Amino acid sequence: MNILVCGGAGYIGSHMAKMLSEQGYQVTVFDNFSTGNRWAVKWGQLFEGDLLSKKDLKKVFERNSFAAVMHFSARSLVGESVKKPELYYQNNVIGTLNLLETMQRAGVKQFIFSSTAATFGNPTSDRIDENHPQQPINPYGWSKLMVEQMLHDLASAGRIDSVSLRYFNAAGADPDGAIGEAHDPETHLIPNVLQSVSGGKQLQVFGTDYPTVDGTCVRDYIHINDLCNAHLLALKYLQTHSGAHGFNLGNGHGFSILEVLQAAERVTGQTIDYEVEGRRPGDPPTLVADSALAQQELGWRPEYTELEAIIATAWNWEQNRRKLGL
């Protein structure tokens, strides 16, 4: 089976390409390198292209026969989406629509979508399951929810079968240290914490006045390999389940920013200093997943359930990244 991995040069996409290849799948990476890294494309063939170019999409589907598409190409910065919403609707919505239209013309019917917990907005319960209202509070969340709606409508029309996987903070790195998180600029908490240790980068904590245990945002962190494993299970799920499906992916336990800092200090053995800044627009106080449905339907179980174990893989990658000059 040849799987098209859109955004396969990015953080999650590159780990997915690696896992697919190790499981015996043929992989084709489609990426425009706006945020992805060429050094991360180590598994499968590369097709450089843009989702906003129908010509690029037509070429990659004409030259290959795909069993399914995994879609990781998206702008994903909450703050940027508030300041520049048009970029998110263009890339995340129009780009995905172009991809789905090209898939239909090529007769490819199976689609796995990288969605987000941001589709839920401010939580109305301690843990968010699939029945929680989807009421985004930022354009990033709305752009992903719009795609989920498109997928439901396409499934109803018998065009495309899909699984949308809503992530609750992907973190960590492949245990062998060959690839990991490397954004420019880096906005995710754990790599920024570790870079403050290894590179002297000043760490910033946005908001200490949230209604949480210590005033900082609480998030549910899921290891990157657990996330990719869920995609493999979703691929198998689509072999026997038509329609549009959505699952929440997380560990089911939330950690505040300060708790992450404390865990990182234990992993690295170093004290972590930080500066307090004001809240970022569009950040809900708490996001914690209830992944019972994914466990029931997909048979998915996270292997990395301890925060320190997740951070340890990220720390291993951070040290390797520095040695490689990446």
* pLDDT tens by residue, 268-310: 999 999 999 999 876 778 889 999 999 999 999 999 999 999 9
**Mean local confidence (pLDDT), 20-30:** 97
* pLDDT tens by residue, 194-231: 999 987 778 999 999 999 999 999 999 999 999 999 99
User: What percent of the chain has pLDDT above 90?
Assistant: 84
Q: Which residues, in sequence order, are bridge partners of residue 220?
A: 254
DSSP 93: I
Comparison of pLDDT for 126 and 129, the residue scoring more: 129
Mean per-residue pLDDT of the chain: 94
Mind telling me the catalytic residues?
140
Give me the torsion for CA of 141, 290, 218, 222, rounded to 10°. Answer: -80
Residue 315 pLDDT grade (very low, low, confident, very high; cuts 50, 70, 90): very high
**Is 251:199 a contact under the CB 8 Å cutoff?**
no
User: Per the structure block, which two tokens stand in for 52?
Assistant: 């906003």
User: Per the structure block, which two tokens stand in for 158?
Assistant: 């018998």
* 260 has a pLDDT exceeding 90: yes
User: What percent of the chain has pLDDT above 70?
Assistant: 100
What does the alpha-carbon distance between residue 46 and residue 35 come to, in Å, rounded to a whole number?
A: 15
**CA 123 to chain centroid:** 19
* 48 has a pLDDT exceeding 90: yes
* pLDDT tens by residue, 51-81: 999 999 999 999 999 999 999 999 988 888 9
What is the per-residue pLDDT for 285? Answer: 87
Tell me the CA distances in angstroms from 53 to 48, 76, 109, 123, 269, one per residue in order: 11, 20, 21, 37, 48
What does the alpha-carbon distance between residue 279 and residue 285 come to, in Å, rounded to a whole number?
A: 10
Q: Which residues, 6 or more positions from 312, have their beta carbon under 8 angstroms from its beta carbon?
A: 267
What is the per-residue pLDDT for 122? Answer: 85
* Domain architecture of the chain: domains with CATH: 2-171+221-249 (3.40.50.720), 189-219+252-324 (3.90.25.10)
**Mean local confidence (pLDDT), 239-259:** 95
